[in-house]
Structure 1
C-alpha cells in the first residue's frame, strides 16, 4: 500500500507539474501558428495585387483621324456610297502597344446595312440606329481584300504600335457564307449582311474596349463626312 501511495504521489506531482512543462511548447505552437497565418495573409495579398495588376487596362491615346462615308440606295444614285467607301481611320498617338486579339471596337450611329441575299435580288435595305462591333482587331474572320490589305503593315507583327494607323471600312466582313468577327445590327436586329454605311452629316461614337478588363480605353466622336 505504501508503494502504491508513492506511485500515486509521483503521478499526481507529475500531473500538477505538466502545465508548467507544457507552457513553452504551447507558446511555440502559438508562435508557429501566428507565423503561418501571417505568411498566408501576405501570399494572398500579393496574389490579389498581382491579379488586379493583370486586369489593369492599357493606357493609350488613339485619335479618330478621319471618318467619311454615306448610304447606299438613298436619294439620287449619284449620291450613293458603297460599303467599302465608308472609311474610319484611327491613329495610335501614344501609350501602350495594343494586341489585336485583346481589343474590340464598337461604333454606333445612324446608317444602313442589308438583310437577306442582295446578290439574287431577294435582299432589302435596313436603315436606322446602327451598331457595329469588331470583336477583335486580328485578321481572322475578316475580308482579305479590305481589312487585311488595309491593315497588314500595321498588324503583321501582332501589335498596334505608336505611329501606326488602323483603317476600318464598311466591307470588312468576309462573304456572308463565312462567319464574321465584325457584327452589325440595325435597330437591334442582328440579321444583317454585317456590312455597314453611316449617313453623311450624322455623328458616330467609337469606343475602343480592352477585352480582358472590359474597360473602355478610348472614346471618340466624329461627324461623318461625305466621301470625296
Structure 2
C-alpha cells in the first residue's frame, strides 16, 4: 500500500512538471505570433502612408517664358500681321519636377483672333479676347508639326529640366472635334481652334496640373512681331 502511494505521488509530480514547462513555451509562441502580426500591420500602414505621400505630392516646376512672337492673322496693320504658324511661344523648364505630358494643360489668354470655318479659306474672322486651352501636351489631337517641334520632350513623355516646349498658333487640327487645342474668342468657342495674338498686347499663360488642378507656373509676356 505504501509502495502504490509512492508511485502515484511520483506520477502526479511528473505530470505537473511537464505542464509547468509547456505553458511558458506556448505563451512565448503566442507572444511571438502577436508581435509578427503587429509588425506586419505596421509595415502595411507605413507603406500606405508612403504611397499616399507620393501620390499626393504636388508637382512643382520653374518655367520661364523664353519668347512670344506673332501677330493677328490677316487683321490689323500690315507690319503687325503674322500667319497662324508664325505665332510661336517658347517655354523653358528651369527646375523642379518632370511634368508628364498627358496630365499637364496650358491656358493662354490675351487679345487675339481665330476663325469660324477654315482659317486658310473663306472662314469668318473673330477678333477679341482670346482663350487658348491645351488640354494636354501630348501629340494626340494636334497638328503633325507639333511632335517634331517637341521631340525632346516626347521621347519619354516628360517635360524635364533644360527642355523647351514650343507652342504654335497652328497646333490644332483645324476645326476638328478631336483637337486637343481649344480656342474661344469673346467666349465664342465655334472656331478653327487656331490662334494669333496682337503685337504689343500682353498674354497670360498658366501651366496646370490637371490631376490636382494646381497652377504650377504662371507667366506674362508682351507679344513681339514675328521676325523669322
TM-score by length of 1: 0.75
What do you get for the CA RMSD once the two structures are aligned? 2.3
User: What secondary structure, in the 3-state scheme, does the structure 2 residue paired with 1:193 have?
Assistant: coil
1:101 matched to 2:102: yes
Q: State the 1:169 CA deviation.
A: 0.6
User: Aligned partners of 2:69 and 2:200: how far apart in 1?
Assistant: 9
Match of 1:127 in 2: 127
1:119-198 maps to which residues of 2 (within 5 A)?
Answer: 120-121=121-122, 123-145=123-145, 147-177=146-176, 179-198=178-197
User: What secondary structure, in the 3-state scheme, does the structure 2 residue paired with 1:154 have?
Assistant: helix
User: What secondary structure, in the 3-state scheme, does the structure 2 residue paired with 1:144 have?
Assistant: coil
Aligned length: 189
User: What secondary structure, in the 3-state scheme, does the structure 1 residue paired with 2:151 have?
Assistant: helix
TM-superposition CA deviations, 1:10-45 (whole Å, max 9, x none): xxxxxxxxxxxxxxxxxxxxxx9xxx9xx79x94x9
User: Aligned partners of 1:84 and 1:97: how far apart in 2?
Assistant: 28
The change in CA–CA distance for 1:66 and 1:116 in structure 2 (over 3 A counts) is same
User: Aligned partners of 1:167 and 1:120: how far apart in 2?
Assistant: 25
TM-superposition CA deviations, 1:148-180 (whole Å, max 9, x none): 121123212211111110000100011434610
User: Aligned partners of 1:118 and 1:226: how far apart in 2?
Assistant: 20
TM-score by length of 2: 0.75
1:74-85 maps to which residues of 2 (within 5 A)?
Answer: 74-85=75-86
Unaligned runs of 5+ in 2: 1-33
Q: State the 1:96 CA deviation.
A: 1.3
User: Aligned partners of 2:92 and 2:168: how far apart in 1?
Assistant: 15
TM-superposition CA deviations, 1:36-75 (whole Å, max 9, x none): 9xx79x94x9757743541222111111000011102223
Q: State the 1:103 CA deviation.
A: 0.6
Which aligned runs of 4 or more in structure 1 are off by greater than 4 angstroms? Answer: 45-50
User: For the Cα contact (< 8 Å) 2:117–2:191, is it kept in 1?
Assistant: yes
Match of 1:221 in 2: 220
The change in CA–CA distance for 1:89 and 1:120 in structure 2 (over 3 A counts) is closer
Q: State the 1:117 CA deviation.
A: 3.4
Moved more, 158-167 or 170-179: 170-179
